[in-house]
Amino acid sequence: MEDEECFQPVLSSQEEDNFQQLNTVSVVSIPLLLGVERVMKLNRLRPPPDVTRDEWLSPFTQDSYSGMGEIGYRQKGRNLEELLEKQADMIRYLKDHNVKLSHRIMLLASQHRATET
């Protein structure tokens, strides 16, 4: 009799199910809460928008940024026409390359359709 009493379950099946559910909720919710905490910290530390940041940074960065309506980066003493010409050449090259890739995609798609039928 004593052996049988030792092996009697401490929790009923309903209590055991509740305990397992509680463990599952704990295992799932702890990492989620830690992730939420990290996101909240990141949101508190986020930098201000660029529009407002440029306004308070511009007095300190006059050497690297002209702040006179120009957009982009340009080294001092570099010829603007040369830069624009290089950009135009790159745009032309990329457009041509895009057309070639489009033709190649169309060719491969038609070959694929032909092999399916």
Helix (H) / strand (E) element for 92: namely: helix 80-116
The domain ranges of the chain are 13-47, 78-116
Residues 6+ apart with CB under 8 A from 61: 67
Whole-model pTM: value is 0.34
Rounded percentage of the chain residues whose pLDDT exceeds 90: 39
Of 50, 79, 54, which is closest to residue 67 (Cα–Cα)? 54
Return d(Cα 31, Cα 82) in angstroms, integer. 54
- pLDDT tens per residue across span 57-67: 555 555 554 55
